[in-house]
Each structure stands twice: as C-alpha cells, then as structure tokens.
A and B are shown apart, each in its own frame.
Chain A
Amino acid sequence: MSNTRRISRLARILRTTVLLMLYALPLFVIVPLLTYPDLSVPIREEYSDYNLPHAFATWQIAAYIAVFSVGLAILAIPLWHLHRLLARYALGETLSPACAQALRRIGQGLLAVAAFSFVSNTIDILILTALNASGERTLSIGIEDSDLALVLAGTVVILVGWVMGQAAEMADENRSFI
C-alpha cells in the first residue's frame, strides 16, 4: 500500500472518530444532568479537598455547569480543526497551505484549552465557595501536569504548522517545475 493511500485510509478512520467525539461532547453535560438527581454529589467528589458548603445554591450549580460547558466548547475548536485537517488528508491533500493553517489552528486551540483549564479550576472553586462564611471562601490557583502537557503539545503543533507552511510553499514551487 502506498504511503498516500495509507495516509488517506487512516485519516478517514480518524476523521470519523473525531466527528463522533465532537457529537459526543454535549453528552458530557447532558449525561450527568440526567444521571445524577443531585449534581452536588459528583461536584463534592471532584473537589473533596476543599471546604465546600453543605448545600449549593441553584445559581452555583448553574454557574459550574456553564463554566464546564465553556470548557467543552473551547475543546471543540481544536477538534473541529482536526476534523477539517483529516478531511483534507483523506482526500490526499497533505502539503497545502490550508493543511498548515489547520495545524496552527489546532495548536492554538490546544493552548486555549490549557489556558481555560488553568482558569476554570480557580473559577469553579470560587463559585462553589462563594456562599461560605467570610474567611472560608477559597481562591485556588494551580497548574496541573496535564495543563503543562497541553501547552507543550499546542506549542509543538503550532511549530509543526509553521514548518508545514514552508513545506507547502516548497511543494507548490516544485509543482511548477516540469
């Protein structure tokens, strides 16, 4: 099997997988809403290290879900660009400016996911402890290993996108040679 056909075949499989992931993203919000009669249970489990109140106000749960949904929406950006890139690969288009741009967008999207992940944890804790008594509210700032890995991955993908841009220019020039 030639390399081009192999790329095309694998890209088709991955494109379908990424598309399914994109469609499945809203389920990360819908399923817990339908599964848990009281959403405070999974929230308490996730933030068991913090001094959370005995009961959350409705607006706190709603705000928590809103922050979580924004995170999913941001995650959809690199996934969408990945889907577009794989669609081009599936058609046999590999060395093109559009593919290089898609790679850069994926990298930027990963950086956005990392940035939001860093901020969202702080916002979540702030929301969930907002109704605590004065002095018991928490402002938590911390970077997780996964955030750093995302920053590294995003930066590398942007770099590869720039390199692919140069490769696309060279391929274009090569095509004008007979």
Chain B
Amino acid sequence: MTAPHRIEVRLDVMMARRKVRGRDLAAAIGITEQNISLLKSGKVKGIRFETLAAICTYLDCQPGDILEAVPVD
C-alpha cells in the first residue's frame, strides 16, 4: 500500500512561467483576486472542474501542471 498523499497547488509556478499576474488571471476566468490568492496558497478545500478548465485554458497547460500529489510527511 502506498503512503497517503496530499494535493499541492503549483499555480504560482505556472503563473510565473507564463508571466501572468493574479489580477489578469482572475479577470480572465471570472473569479476574484482573493480566490486566486487562496488557490495559490492552497488554503481551499477544492477546485471546481469549471475553474480548473478555465485556468488551464488561460495558462495553456494541463491540470497536472497546476496540481501535484505529494506524499504526506
């Protein structure tokens, strides 16, 4: 049996690669900057497929570029 994993959000890394600001991403996908900040810091319980799809479209990436499963220490 594999060790339990948790999901880490790598949105900030992807945004830095694409040189996208939080304000622009928020405006493009129709959510608040505050929610983008919460998402970047991983302080959310989940992300809707709709939001994830909008982020992937804008950043031209895959969900795996934004979310990563890492083993729990």
Q: Which residues in A have some Cβ–Cβ distance to B below 8 Å?
A: 173, 176-178
Q: Which residues in B have some Cβ–Cβ distance to A below 8 Å?
A: 31, 35, 38-39, 44-48, 51
Q: What residue in chain A is nearest B32 (Cβ atoms)?
A: A178
- Distance between B4 CB and nearest chain A CB, rounded to angstroms: 21
- Distance between A39 CB and nearest chain B CB, rounded to angstroms: 63
Q: A176-B44, A177-B47, A178-B35 are in contact. List 9 more A-B contacts (CB 8 A).
A: A176-B46, A177-B44, A177-B45, A177-B48, A178-B38, A178-B39, A178-B46, A178-B47, A178-B51
- Distance between B31 CB and nearest chain A CB, rounded to angstroms: 6
Chain B residues with CB under 8 A of A177: 44-48
- Distance between B47 CB and nearest chain A CB, rounded to angstroms: 5
Q: Which 9 interchain pairs have the tightest Cβ spacing? A: A176-B45, A177-B46, A178-B35, A178-B44, A178-B47, A178-B39, A178-B51, A177-B48, A176-B44
Chain A residues with CB under 8 A of B39: 178
- Distance between A35 CB and nearest chain B CB, rounded to angstroms: 61
- Distance between B13 CB and nearest chain A CB, rounded to angstroms: 18
Chain A residues with CB under 8 A of B46: 176-178
